[in-house]
């Protein structure tokens, strides 16, 4: 039995297999319509979500399976003091696979060592979000036709943005990747990722506050929201929230084939005027997220199609 807590648990070969399966699901959806007949997914979300929870649920329905859902911590026995471990043991009696989001880093890991079914990390605090990374990788692969030889810019909240941490971890294993890290000083990438992932693997990177100076060199621009829910005080959030706003004027500086990604939700950091720019890929990412979650569910449940 296999869970997915950190994207680093998947080898490049396994990611490639998930991507190829995703392409097949897109091309032949009917082939998969009964792949998970009789199986149940439990979505346990202790933190708000639109895309991740609904895409997991849509993924399981499109595979012919069923869903049981806990959409908020407030509607669960966590409010009475039940532990994550006991919740995982309990839900193992009802479902075949769990997708869990939790504000505490490591909570899905605790669930995975207590559950008797696979647990998928659907985002844990400011730590990791491996299935968003799978969506991001499919989007980059479909836009660029490759996952190597790319200059990838991450812009915004690189400190608390868990999608950034997971995507850097995943891309660090491909060749010819250069990272451009654009953030205010207070929201820089955590040093454990810079040291243990980027520097340890001798990857090329630059760290800057000057968005416009580096924008012309990017193949991929990964914009992020400043993560209000992770701040200790509102004043800091208000001061930093609009540090970087991508506007049509700024897009004039970008390459003609620069792909703009964002895990969403968006607040102000991408002007809606960019949504019709052919380089805007963030709603493609939403679709790709559902497909990659289908691909992952099939893998973890060891379903042969």
Which of 81, 108, 125 minimizes the C-alpha distance to 229?
Answer: 125
Q: How many angstroms separate the CA atoms of 262 and 156, rounded?
A: 11
Q: Residues 213-252 vs ligand CP: string with x where CB under 6 A?
A: ----------------------------------------
For ligand CP, the closer of residues 29 and 265 by Cβ is 265
- Residue 133 as a binder of ligand CP (CB under 6 A): the answer is no
Strands (E), the chain: 40-45, 66-70, 97-102, 119-124, 150-155, 177-182, 204-208, 220-223, 259-261
153 lines the binding site for ligand CP (CB under 6 A): no
Number of residues that bind ligand CP (CB under 6 A): 9
C-beta of 237: minimal distance to ligand CP in Å? 17
Q: Is 51 one of the binding residues for ligand CP (CB under 6 A)? A: yes
Toward ligand CP, which CB reaches closer, 67 or 206?
A: 67
Q: Does 267 bind ligand CP (CB under 6 A)?
A: no
| Cα separation, 3 vs 55, whole angstroms | 18
Applying CB under 6 A, among 265, 273, 275, 305 the residue interacting with ligand CP is 265
Output 50 or 268, the one with its CB closest to ligand CP.
50
Tokens linked to 65:
């399976």
**Cα distance between residue 76 and residue 272, in whole Å:** 36
Q: How far is the CB of 262 from ligand CP (least distance, A)?
A: 9
Site membership for ligand CP, residue 132 (CB under 6 A): yes
Residue 123 engages ligand CP in binding (rule: CB under 6 A):
yes
Q: Which is nearer to ligand CP, 168 or 264 (CB)?
A: 264
Taken as a whole, the chain contains a residue count of 305
Q: Is residue 263 a contact residue for ligand CP (CB under 6 A)?
A: yes
Active site residue 52: yes
- Sort residue 64 into left (φ over 0), alpha (ψ -120 to 50) or beta: left
Active site residue: 21, 102, 129, 194, which one? 129
Set 21, 43, 53, 101: catalytic member: 101
- Kindly state the smallest distance separating residue 54's Cβ from ligand CP, in Å: 8
Binding of ligand CP by 264 (CB under 6 A): yes
The span from the CA of 128 to the CA of 151, in Å, is 22
Instruction: Report the half-sphere exposure of 134 (CA within 13 A, side-chain side).
Output: 39
| Residues with Cβ within 8 Å of residue 58, at least 6 apart in sequence | 290
Residue 84 CA to residue 233 CA, distance in Å, equals 27
- 80 among known catalytic residues: yes
Binding residues (CB under 6 A) for ligand CP: these are 49-52, 123, 132, 263-265
Active site residues: 51-52, 80, 101, 129
């Amino acid at each position: 039995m296999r869970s997915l807590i950190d994207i680093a648990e998947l080898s490049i070969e396994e990611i490639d297999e998930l991507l190829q399966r995703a392409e097949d699901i897109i091309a032949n959806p009917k082939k998969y319509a009964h792949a998970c007949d009789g199986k149940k997914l439990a979505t346990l979300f202790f933190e708000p979500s639109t895309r991740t929870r609904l895409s997991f649920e849509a993924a399981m329905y499109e595979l012919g399976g069923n869903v049981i859902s806990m959409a908020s911590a407030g509607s669960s026995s966590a409010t009475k003091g039940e532990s994550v471990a006991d919740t995982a043991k309990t839900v193992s009696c009802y479902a075949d696979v769990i997708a869990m989001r939790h504000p505490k880093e490591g909570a899905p890991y605790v669930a995975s060592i207590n559950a008797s079914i696979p647990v998928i990390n659907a985002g844990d605090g400011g730590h990791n979000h491996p299935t968003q990374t799978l969506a991001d990788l499919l989007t980059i692969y479909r836009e660029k036709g490759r996952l190597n030889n790319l200059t990838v810019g991450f812009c915004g909240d690189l400190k608390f943005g868990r999608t950034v941490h997971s995507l850097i971890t995943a891309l660090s294993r491909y060749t010819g990747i250069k990272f451009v890290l654009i953030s205010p000083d207070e929201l820089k990438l955590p040093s454990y990722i810079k040291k243990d992932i980027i520097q340890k693997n001798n990857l090329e990177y630059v760290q800057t506050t000057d968005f416009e100076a580096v924008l012309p060199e990017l193949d991929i621009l990964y914009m992020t929201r400043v993560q209000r829910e992770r701040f200790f005080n509102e004043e800091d959030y208000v001061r930093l929230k609009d540090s970087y706003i991508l506007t049509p004027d700024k897009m004039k500086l970008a390459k003609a084939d620069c792909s703009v990604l964002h895990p969403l939700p968006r607040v102000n950091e991408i002007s809606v005027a960019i949504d019709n720019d052919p380089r805007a890929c963030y709603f493609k990412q939403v679709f790709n997220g559902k497909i990659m979650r289908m691909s992952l569910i099939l893998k973890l449940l060891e379903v042969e199609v």
